[in-house]
Amino acid sequence: MQQQTIQAQVNKRLLSKADRLFTGTLEGRIIEILQNARRAGATEVTITQKDGLVTIQDNGSGIQDFQTLLDLGGSGWTDKTERSEDPAGVGIFSLAPRDVTIESGHTKLVVTQSIWTGQPAQLFELPEVVQGTRLQFQDQPWEMNTIEKYAVFTGLDVTVNGKSCAQKRFCSRQSTSYPHLGCRIEVRRRDHLSAWHKAFQTNYYHHDVLVNFYGQVVPFDDEPISGEHLVFLVDLTGETTALRLMLPARTRMVENEAFRQLKEMLEKEAYRFIHK
């Protein structure tokens, strides 16, 4: 009997349900939009909201191929970005099922519910060039305090209705570089954390480790030395890394070999900190 082979594939039925698959949280939408702007080389993101209409403008490289926006699971990012960030390929689908207007260069696309689920979309030519990318859609309030929490560690200059969000370094210059993991690690006493770091700790006695994935901070628990009340700050550097986030929510780390090595380095840094 001839040996048969089968392989995994994405069924079209999944795309037909896209307007229901990505009805996530406001925080998730904010994170995804800021991450996309940064990956496109943006340094500035301007967010305004009036009468429920959210407008987001960045100064990135813009959209070269609008088809990539509707490629669920694809990303169109460079190999370097794939190796250092492992983008999920959700992108603009995080805004489904909302009607979204997207403008970049001379091109405009309006994504409606039928387009989210696989119907053809028409591209329109704009009379004037839009630098970077502009998004518009109806949503619940994008409030300053929520946006600022997820903007502060991105390295982006983000303004909300004319007011600038804070920009902070996640780790200080005292941190130690670990190129093989693509990150830097800093140890601090719990009472030496900034308010921005504490915003990602939901319980005083937990979340000993905070990992900054370019503005998206993911906590987990690890206590190499008990009773010392230490917190470990891990900041990804943009180098190739095997540290990964669980999909699709990206709120937990994958416990792979790189994660095991990271925990070993945390223990090393803990003893070094105590020794000092």
More confident residue, 206 or 110: 110
**Lowest-confidence pick of 30-34, 79-83, 120-124, 151-155:** 79-83
What pLDDT score was predicted for residue 15? 62
**Statement: residue 201 has pLDDT above 90:** no
Nearest C-alpha neighbor of 233 from the set 204, 203, 212: 212
More confident residue, 78 or 228: 228
> Rounded to whole angstroms, how far apart are CA atoms 83 and 85?
6
Mean pLDDT of the chain: 88
- Residue that the structure tokens 């993911």 belong to: 218
What is the DSSP-derived secondary structure letter of residue 181? T
What pLDDT score was predicted for residue 234? 98
Work out whether strand 123-138 and strand 53-58 pair parallel, antiparallel, or are unpaired. Answer: antiparallel
Asked if residues 261 and 242 have their Cβ atoms less than 8 Å apart, the reply is no
What pLDDT score was predicted for residue 116? 86
pLDDT in tens, 29-69: 999 999 999 999 999 999 999 999 999 999 999 999 998 88
- Specify the length of the chain in residues: 276
pLDDT grade, residue 174 (50/70/90)? very high
Asked if residues 16 and 117 have their Cβ atoms less than 8 Å apart, the reply is yes
What pLDDT score was predicted for residue 215? 92
Asked if residues 160 and 47 have their Cβ atoms less than 8 Å apart, the reply is yes
- Is the bond preceding residue 87 a cis peptide, omega within 30 degrees? no
**Statement: residue 142 has pLDDT above 80:** yes
> Rounded to whole angstroms, how far apart are CA atoms 82 and 235?
17
> Rounded to whole angstroms, how far apart are CA atoms 244 and 238?
13
